[in-house]
Amino acid sequence: MATQTYERSDSLVSSLYDRLQSIVCAFVLLLCGAIGFAGTLGAAHILTPLAASTITYEIIEPQTPAYSAVAMGESAALTPLSSVFTPQVQYWAPLINAWAIAFQMDPNLIATVIQIESCGDPSVGSSAGAQGLFQVMPFHFAPGEDMLDVQTNAARGLNYLAGGLAKANGHVGLALAGYNGGHGVIDRGWATWPAETQRYYYWGSRIYSEATSGTGSSPTLQEWLTAGGGSLCTRAQATEDQLTQQQAGY
């Protein structure tokens, strides 16, 4: 009889333990489910407004390249003209400084263009049809304009150069490439440029950089003279001698 009572007690305890274990497991599962649901609901509450709304960004201070103000503006226009340019270009120094003020442009950039294009010869023309001190193509002139008139030639050439500077965001090398090869090259890669434009970029950007460095010399300009620029300057000197004689009344 005692043995039978013990067996019933053991069976009852085991049954209660199994039930308790089942209840605990169920409670844990319910708790995990509740936590998971709450987390999902919270995430949905946080993310839904972001997905549904449009995020607006405000530019407080636009970033412009450091070089953008080097060759343009009032300060650039007042930059002293470097002594590195050849005497044939220095001949035009008073006008170069006046054009710098008028076009709000570094006079050294203007002198760089004159140096490479004509070396100061206002009467020179190219086989492609470019004319005068700035070697401006005929289609830049208005009908009836004298393409060799120094002031007219400068106005047309510098207007085009200023447009290139604006398109290139002040990048002198790209503006010079655009002056030679057309503004379309500014947005294209170096490899797509004609060989002449690549050389122009090389000569122009380096001469300008050396002219504005304050060193008082331009190895690149000397290289340009040796590469063929010297003959252009010889012709320019002859033209300027004639102009000097005419002004003196000879």
Q: The domain that contains 141 carries what CATH number?
A: 1.10.530.10
Q: What mean pLDDT comes out for the span 35-41?
A: 48
Q: Which of 56, 82, 99 is the last residue of a domain?
A: 56
pLDDT at residue 66, rounded to an integer = 42
Would residue 61 count as lying in a domain? no
Residue 58 bears catalytic tag: no
170/226 same-domain check:
yes
Number of domains the chain contains: 2
98/220 same-domain check:
yes
**Domain that includes residue 90, residue range:** 69-248
Would residue 64 count as lying in a domain? no
114/203 same-domain check:
yes
Rounded Cα distance between 131 and 147, Å, is: 6
Computed over every residue of the chain, the mean pLDDT equals 83
197/97 same-domain check:
yes
pLDDT at 21 over 70: no
Please list the helix, strand and coil fractions of the chain in percent, rounded to the nearest 5, in that order: 70, 0, 30
Asked whether the beta carbons of 94 and 193 are under 8 A apart, the reply is no
Mind giving me the DSSP string for 140-185?
GSPTT--TT-HHHHHHHHHHHHHHHHHHTTT-HHHHHHHHHH-GGG
**Residue of higher predicted confidence among 197 and 41:** 197
Q: Indicate which residue of 58, 61, 74, 117 is catalytic.
A: 117
The angle at the Cα of 109, spanning 144 to 218, to the nearest 5 degrees, equals 130
1/43 same-domain check:
yes
* pLDDT tens track for 198-237: 999 999 999 999 999 998 899 999 999 999 999 999 999 9
pLDDT at 79 over 80: yes
pLDDT at residue 10, rounded to an integer = 52
Count Cβ neighbours within 10 Å for each residue of 164-192 and write b for 16 or more, e otherwise.
bbebbebbbbbbbbbbbbebebbeeeeee
Quick one: pLDDT band at residue 249, thresholds 50, 70, 90? confident
141/41 same-domain check:
no
52/133 same-domain check:
no
38/90 same-domain check:
no
pLDDT at residue 116, rounded to an integer = 98
Quick one: pLDDT band at residue 48, thresholds 50, 70, 90? very low
Sign, CA dihedral 111-113-117-123, equals: negative
